[in-house]
Chain A
Amino acid sequence: MKLSSGMCPGLDENLLRSLRAADIRTVEDLVSSDIEDLAQKCSVSYKALFAIRRVLLAQNTAFPVSGADLYEELLSSTAILSTGNPSLDKLLDSGLYTGEITELTGGPGSGKSQVCFGVAVHIAYQLKQSVIYIDTTGGLTANRLLQMLQTETNNTDEQMEALQRIHTFRLFDVGALLDCLYGLGGGGLHKVCVGGGSVKALIVDSVSAVIAPLLGGKQNEGMSLMIQVAAALKTMAKDFSVAVLVTNHVTRSSSGEVQPGLGVSWSHVPRTRILLERVESGASGRRSATLIKSSRQACLIKEDFDLQWWSRAEGERGGETSGKRKLDETDT
Chain B
Amino acid sequence: KSKRSRANDHEEEEGRTEMSESGTQLFARLEARRCLKDVEPRLFADDGGPDRGEVVEVYGPEGTGKTELLYHLLCRCVLPEAAGGLEVDVVFVDTDYSLDMFRLASVLDSRLNAGGSAGSDDAVLRLCLSRLLVVRCSSSSQLLLTLHFLETTLSSRPRAALLLIDSISAFYWSDRSEGGASVAKQEEKLSRCSELLGRLLRDYRITIFATCHPIRRGSNGPPSSSEADRSHLCRAWQRLVTHRLVCSRQEAQHNPANGDEGSGEQRNWQVFTVHCSSWTGTKGSRVSSFRVTDGGVEDGSESGSSDVWFYQ
Q: Is B37 an interface residue when CB atoms closer than 8 A count as contact?
A: no
* Interface locus among B28-36, B49-57, B146-154, B273-281: B146-154
Q: How far, in whole Å, are A47 and B146 apart by their CA atoms in the complex?
A: 22
Nearest A residue to B68 via CB reads A295
Q: Is A151 an interface residue when CB atoms closer than 8 A count as contact?
A: no
A209-231 contact mask (Cβ, 8 Å, vs B): 1 or 0:
00000000000110110111011
B80 shortest CB reach to chain A, Å: 15
* Interface locus among B38-46, B97-105, B282-290: B97-105
The secondary-structure label for the interface of chain A is helix
**With contact pairs A61-B145, A66-B130, A264-B61 given, residues A71 and B101 touching in the complex (Cβ less than 8 Å):** yes
B173-201 contact mask (Cβ, 8 Å, vs A): 1 or 0:
11011100000000001001000100000
Set of chain A residues within 8 Å of B67, measured between Cβ atoms: 295
Set of chain B residues within 8 Å of A46, measured between Cβ atoms: 19
Out of A57, A235, A237, A271, which one reaches B138, CB within 8 Å?
A: A235
Q: Is A65 an interface residue when CB atoms closer than 8 A count as contact?
A: yes
Summed over the interface, the residue pairs from A and B with CB atoms below 8 Å come to a total of: 143
Q: Is B217 an interface residue when CB atoms closer than 8 A count as contact?
A: yes
Set of chain A residues within 8 Å of B174, measured between Cβ atoms: 224, 227-228
Q: How far, in whole Å, are A230 and B96 apart by their CA atoms in the complex?
A: 9
* Interface locus among A24-32, A130-138, A200-208: A24-32
B211-236 contact mask (Cβ, 8 Å, vs A): 1 or 0:
00111110000000000000000000
Q: How far, in whole Å, are A238 and B110 apart by their CA atoms in the complex?
A: 26
A281-323 contact mask (Cβ, 8 Å, vs B): 1 or 0:
0000000000001011011100000000000000000000000
**With contact pairs A63-B135, A231-B138, A332-B106 given, residues A264 and B145 touching in the complex (Cβ less than 8 Å):** no
B247 shortest CB reach to chain A, Å: 13
Set of chain A residues within 8 Å of B97, measured between Cβ atoms: 231, 234-235, 237-238
What is the interface size of chain A, counting residues whose CB is below 8 A from a CB of the partner? 53
B169 shortest CB reach to chain A, Å: 9
Q: Are B214 and A264 in contact (CB under 8 A)?
A: yes
Q: How far, in whole Å, are A296 and B178 apart by their CA atoms in the complex?
A: 36
Q: Is B11 an interface residue when CB atoms closer than 8 A count as contact?
A: yes
**With contact pairs A47-B11, A220-B176, A224-B177 given, residues A268 and B98 touching in the complex (Cβ less than 8 Å):** yes
**With contact pairs A265-B173, A330-B102 given, residues A68 and B148 touching in the complex (Cβ less than 8 Å):** no
Q: Is B308 an interface residue when CB atoms closer than 8 A count as contact?
A: no
**With contact pairs A32-B192, A299-B270 given, residues A264 and B101 touching in the complex (Cβ less than 8 Å):** no
Q: Is B159 an interface residue when CB atoms closer than 8 A count as contact?
A: no
Q: How far, in whole Å, are A26 and B177 apart by their CA atoms in the complex?
A: 19
**With contact pairs A50-B18, A234-B97 given, residues A224 and B133 touching in the complex (Cβ less than 8 Å):** no
Q: How far, in whole Å, are A71 and B92 apart by their CA atoms in the complex?
A: 14
Give 6 A-B pairs besides A299-B270, A332-B106 with Cβ atoms closer than 8 angstroms: A27-B145, A67-B78, A67-B134, A224-B178, A235-B138, A238-B97
What are some 10 contacts across the A-B interface (CB < 8 A)? A28-B144, A47-B15, A64-B133, A68-B129, A71-B129, A78-B102, A223-B177, A267-B63, A268-B96, A296-B103
